Amino acid sequence: MKKIAILQSNYIPWKGYFDIINMVDEFILYDDVQYTKNDWRNRNRIVTKDGLRWLSIPVAHTGKFYQKINETKVVDHKWANKHWRSIECNYAKAKFFPMYAERIKKVYEACREEDYLSRINFAFLKEICDILQIQTEITWSSDYKLAEGKTNRLVQLVKDAGGDSYLSGPAAKDYIEEELFAEAGIDLVWMDYSGYPAYGQFFGNFEHGVSILDLIFHEGPQAREFMKSF
């Protein structure tokens, strides 16, 4: 049985995103679909002494009725230095920050002049997967021919990838036509994000829905123990 997951790329995603990657045989980045404003594509949150803080990559989107995620371009390359300074300021005292700081900093440096959001997200995705020792094959939806219709497109991607099982995030329950997976002989599995254990964050009430960098800097090699797929 080959299990597939298909998600749009996110910027330094939370731990649930990486659990999905680790729970499948092939992870397809769904980036030749419409870019959504005020979403996770170009931003994520970190924990600070003043509460949650958004780190957002400035991108061009105003006035364009339809633009794909992989067409979305950065408009101010100063974002990389700003984000790294914010991360360094808020996590410098985290137990495992010294172990991973240079690796993450190098990704920011490599992405400093990158124009395309998808490539930036992919660079962080690969580095974090390496840190977590996730070895899942990662491909792009643009490598495949896309069918028409939201659910039909997902079904066809799974079939073209040779999959017979599809792992979906729970938010897709709002639009997925489950019967189309059944008709295609594909087992549809829903990800469950409940029951994550807390770990040693510095400030305030514990927050699960933040960038996985928070978990890595606090727990280091033990970070996988606070995830669901290991």
* Separation between Cα atoms, residue 49 and residue 197, nearest integer Å: 21
* Both tokens assigned to 59: 């991108």
Residue with tokens 């080959």: 2
Provide the whole-model pTM: 0.95
Q: Which amino acid is at 182?
A: A
* Separation between Cα atoms, residue 130 and residue 90, nearest integer Å: 23
* 8 Å CB contact between 73 and 40: no
Domain ranges of the chain: 3-226
DSSP conformational letter for 24? S
**pLDDT tens, position by position, for the chain (230 residues)?**
899 999 999 999 999 999 999 999 999 999 998 898 889 999 999 999 999 999 999 999 766 567 899 999 999 999 999 999 999 999 999 999 999 999 999 999 999 999 999 999 999 999 999 999 999 999 999 999 888 888 999 999 999 999 999 999 999 998 999 999 999 999 999 999 999 999 989 887 899 999 999 999 999 999 999 999 99
How big is the chain, counted in residues?
A: 230
3-class DSSP assignment, residue 47: strand
* 8 Å CB contact between 46 and 52: yes
